[in-house]
């Protein structure tokens, strides 16, 4: 069995605040989020996962999905009506959205992980077992 694993890094700037939190992050503030998404082929032979162009997944698909959150106040987005826009929740939402996108496009790949860097020294990684 052979596999292909690709990773794409996307950077966006957005703001948020945390409800029911009593530290500095309770107030509106911004971040340069760095998001690393890793996707892996799921066919028996990696070559069979490639499209007619020789691509598993166009990096632009990942960039487009994450970029929807660029220059936004995350709290104003519908997905954060009832939950806080934490790095943890962002990682889960992006993993789910990309999984859905792969299924819609019929791409023989799975999301391995989504790592969200909130600062240069603090990150959270969501992954499937």
User: Which residue in 11, 44, 68, 71 is the catalytic one?
Assistant: 71
**CA nearest to 36, candidates 108, 109, 105, 90:** 90
118 catalytic residue (yes or no): yes
Residue 129 to residue 123: CA distance in whole angstroms:
19
Q: How far apart are CA 98 and CA 75, in angstroms?
A: 21
Known catalytic residue: 100?
A: no
DSSP state of 18: -
How many residues would you count in the chain? Answer: 129
Assess whether 44 carries a catalytic annotation. Answer: no
Which one from 25, 36, 88, 101 is the annotated catalytic residue? 25
What positions carry a catalytic annotation?
25, 71, 118
């Amino acid at each position: 069995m052979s596999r292909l694993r690709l990773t794409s890094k996307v950077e966006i700037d957005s703001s948020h605040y945390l409800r029911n939190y009593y530290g500095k992050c309770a107030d509106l503030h911004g971040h340069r989020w760095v998001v690393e998404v890793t996707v892996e082929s799921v066919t028996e032979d990696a070559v069979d996962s490639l499209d007619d162009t020789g691509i598993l997944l166009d990096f632009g698909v990942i960039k487009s999905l994450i970029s929807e959150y660029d220059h936004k106040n995350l709290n104003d987005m519908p997905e954060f009506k009832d939950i806080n826009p934490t790095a943890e929740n962002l990682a889960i939402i992006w993993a789910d959205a990309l999984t859905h996108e792969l299924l819609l496009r019929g791409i023989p790949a799975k999301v391995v992980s989504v790592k969200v860097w909130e600062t240069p020294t603090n990150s959270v990684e969501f992954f499937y077992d």
